[in-house]
Amino acid sequence: MFIAKFEGGWFWSATIRNIFKLYHGIDVGYGTYGGAFDTTKIAGGTVFGNYCSIAPNVYVFNGNHPLAFFSQHPIFYNPKIGFVNEEQIPRTKLIIGHDVWIGANAIILPSVSRIGNGAVIGAGTVVTRDVKPYEVVAGNPARHIRYRFAPIVIDRIEKSLWWFLTKDELQKATPSLCKLTHENEIRSFE
């Protein structure tokens, strides 16, 4: 969009974020970029934290076709089509934490309500359950691969609350923040 260009791009544009929240029901955090802005693939009710990296073709679904209805066609359950006045199936909401990386072609099903801070979802993964903070998952269905850091390091990162910094503040704080993962890191924590 033309607006983003004048506000520092898609990473930083407050106007673009307001438009997506108001007209599409998608809440995109500061610094988050990529597939988070694809209204054809991200369901309304999705909340992205700050500084998330969302690859192309990530799908977030917030409802399933009704298996018990005589027909599974959306004309019978989705008011946007104009045949029914109210939503006829339950819709879910997904909260994605800060600094989450979701790889290309990942699919997040309606059974997922939360993806924790710092989580990684591998490319092509089908996520069927919540993902814990700093957990790395991949596969179909998603399976636990490992955690990104030892618990002591995760605790340090969480306490830093770095994702609430503006890009200028973050630039100044980066040298000290990088030390959070390098000082006394414990590698054998699995």
Residues known to be catalytic: 65
CA-to-CA distance for 79 and 184, rounded, in angstroms? 55
CA-to-CA distance for 84 and 36, rounded, in angstroms? 29
3-state secondary structure of 44: coil
Residue 102: name the closest of 117, 123, 116 by CA: 123
CA-to-CA distance for 63 and 61, rounded, in angstroms? 6
CA-to-CA distance for 58 and 143, rounded, in angstroms? 18
- 138 DSSP assignment: E
Q: β-strands 143-147, 135-138: how paired?
A: antiparallel
CA atoms within 13 A on the CB side of 116: 15
Q: Which two tokens mark 147?
A: 């955690």
